[in-house]
Structure 1
Amino acid sequence: MTARTFEKRRVGQTALEVTTLGLGGASLAGIFSAVPADQARATVHHALDAGINYVDTAPQYGLGRSEHLVGDVLRERRIDAVLSTKVGRLLAPVVDGQQDKGAWVDPLPFNQVYDYSYDGVMRSFEDSLQRLGLASVDIVYVHDIGVATHGVEGNRPLWKQLETGGYKALRELRDGGVIKAIGLGVNEWEVLMDAFALGDWDVFLLAGRYTLLEQTSLDPFMTTCIKRGASVVVGGPFNSGILVGGDKFNYAKAPEAIVAKVKAIDAVCQEFGVPLPAAALQFPLTHPAVCNVLPGPRSPAELDGILDWWDVSIPGELWTTLAAKGLLAPGTPIPGGTA
């Protein structure tokens, strides 16, 4: 296939530049339904062939499976891709077959152990390099810290680990030139405001909170990113599938109010002859803090569908009409002004 020429945006104040479309590695590891290994690897190859230069993975995804699969392709291709993985979970071998698979259909034989301490971060990083079979990665995110994952009380000691040791480990890796950027990868923007109090970060992977459907992170989080020189990678641009014709929102059945709002947004898209998924995919990039949108296709065919949506030309009037109808949060940056 012919590679596209994607726009590239700078990651924070680093020298890294990523294509505005990336490849998320969670679905490839078989969440909710199985993905054959050859299909997963073919999807990564297809993304690189298309001109996408940013791939994200994590130890959690398939309990090691995603990192293995992504590493297989990047070792073979020896291509100049930007790669991110995550810390905060160590993988422990399953004892007596007692595995918590979570939503992973065919994970590797490990259970996850949360550890955001100095030693935990360093161990997690080194383990990821082993699973990837690579000598380096570019970006390391602290994964799923916050009350959404751990609850209020459960998060307190884990945040203390990050505050007293984990952040120091990340700074040592970055400032020593071992990695190029640090951040957090989460589903809630509030914890990212707490992270700003710990020090400086380069980039945040935020899933689901700055999308065509929901802009709850707009202020104070996104505005603070601009002030602090940090970038945002938008994960979950389809809000768990509701914006591509599914019935899930935030990994659960969508409530009626969400379904109604999606119908209203879709009506505007139809007015301009734009497929709703195309608008959803391209919307986050209207914000100057956003450097990348990160969908998670499960196959080369799904990726082709995403690329088709990516190629749709969207008139500025679509965004201004959404804003006029109150379907975008006040202050949302859109071409030609704000909502």
Structure 2
Amino acid sequence: MQECRREERATDDAVADDAFAMTTLDRSTLGAIGFGAAPLGNLYRSLTDAAARATIRAAWNAGIRYFDTAPHYGFGLSEKRLGSALAEIDPDEQAIVSTKVGRRLDPVPDADLTRPRQGFVSPEPVESVFDYGYDAVMRGYEASRARLRRDRIDVLYAHDLGRLTHGDAHPHHFCAFLDGGYKAMRALRDGGAVRAIGIGVNEVAICEQVLAHADLDLILLAGRYTLLEQDSLQTLLPLCERRSVGVVIGGPYNSGILAQGVGGGAPVHYDYEPPPADIVARVARIEALCAAHGVPMAAAALQFPLAHPQIASVIPGMASPDEAAATIAAMATPLPPALWADLKRAGLLRPDAPVPGIAE
């Protein structure tokens, strides 16, 4: 990998100095369940402004106070919709809002706004382009703040770093972040513009790579600590515990497959794509065990990550008031201890995975 100017941390256990003291945002402040706002950007399908506003209001009325969005979600549309709704229902800015940097929005005046672009059916005549530089992060923060109508943003994540995302361009983007974007994020946090900084990613390896060079408050990890996948238990979650880094779990349903299941025959997604055969087979086994215990697989998927003490919140995406209500109902569904024992016995959960309702 090309050489970045920033030096590696001396040890995993090094403590940040007073100037870089961490801000604690944990489950007591974020809440066990937060709101993933990617669907508000018309992810895969169009959503009306009224439906988006009703969804946010339903989540608010259900007690949800943490909302996560990004400029990439609908190329600013998700941020605009979230900002508009919260301006009505939360004029005192009691909600905790996170958004992301690392993608700038460039004009595309000739774009066909009726077709999906980068997964979003958005009316915004822009598209997102990766840029982790200092100036891009500063400009991105101000643009997000304007779209969100907030005096400040609570949490700022660097979006989608990682080799699986960027391939051969990963070293370039990683160094741009360490040498520029991270410095900007630190300046924003240390100046009080944001309460906490972190990364929002889909890959475990990049979390460990960033933590070797940088101090973070939170990691938003999508899809990598779920009922379907627990490899992050091996090294990442212990590292986050040693470093006092909270972990927010995005994509608890692995792009929907753990909510919808595979028994109905309808198309499903895993990691935003059609699932491979081995994933379908594994989900079918999980689904069958949940059915044998008389519980919805979605409830098990939503509650499972929260058994780990390092998990600060779980933020499923919501696209309708019904989905908000279903999320609250899933959180309240009693799950028998025997379910977790059977999942471990079948090799569908790691033996060392903490599970709800059982101290380990």
When normalised by structure 2's length, the TM-score is 0.87
Match of 1:270 in 2: 291
> Which one of 26, 40, 64 corresponds to residue 76 of structure 2?
64
Query: How far off is 1:98 after superposition?
Result: 7.2
> Which one of 73, 98, 113 corresponds to residue 84 of structure 1?
98
Is 1:14 aligned with 2:24? yes
| RMSD (CA atoms) | 1.7
Match of 2:3 in 1: none
Match of 1:133 in 2: 149
SS at structure 1 position matched to 2:119: coil
CA distance in 2, matches of 1:106, 1:175: 35
Query: How far off is 1:244 after superposition?
Result: 1.8
Match of 1:75 in 2: 87
Counterparts of 1:137-152 in structure 2, within 5 Å, are: 137-151=153-167
When normalised by structure 1's length, the TM-score is 0.92
Does the CA contact (< 8 Å) of 2:25 and 2:246 recur in 1?
A: no
Is 1:32 aligned with 2:6? no
> Which one of 196, 209, 217 corresponds to residue 181 of structure 1?
196
**TM-superposition CA deviations, 1:42-99 (whole Å, max 9, x none):** 1111111110010001000000000000000111121511000000011122244478
SS at structure 1 position matched to 2:98: strand
Does the CA contact (< 8 Å) of 1:59 and 1:89 recur in 2?
A: yes
**TM-superposition CA deviations, 1:132-159 (whole Å, max 9, x none):** 12211100000011122211x2111111
Counterparts of 1:248-263 in structure 2, within 5 Å, are: 248-263=269-284
Query: How far off is 1:198 after superposition?
Result: 1.8
CA distance in 1, matches of 2:131, 2:199: 14
Match of 1:207 in 2: 222
Unaligned runs of at least 5 residues, structure 2 = 1-21, 262-267
Match of 1:293 in 2: 314
SS at structure 2 position matched to 1:248: coil
Does the CA contact (< 8 Å) of 1:24 and 1:294 recur in 2?
A: yes
- Equivalences, count: 326
Return closer, same or farther for 1:15/1:280 CA change in 2, 3 Å cut-off: closer
Match of 2:108 in 1: 94
> Which one of 172, 177, 189 corresponds to residue 187 of structure 2?
172
Match of 2:173 in 1: 158
Query: How far off is 1:267 after superposition?
Result: 2.2
CA distance in 2, matches of 1:136, 1:63: 20
SS at structure 1 position matched to 2:235: helix
CA distance in 1, matches of 2:340, 2:359: 10
Unaligned runs of at least 5 residues, structure 1 = 1-11
Is 1:281 aligned with 2:291? no
CA distance in 2, matches of 1:120, 1:98: 26
Match of 1:4 in 2: none
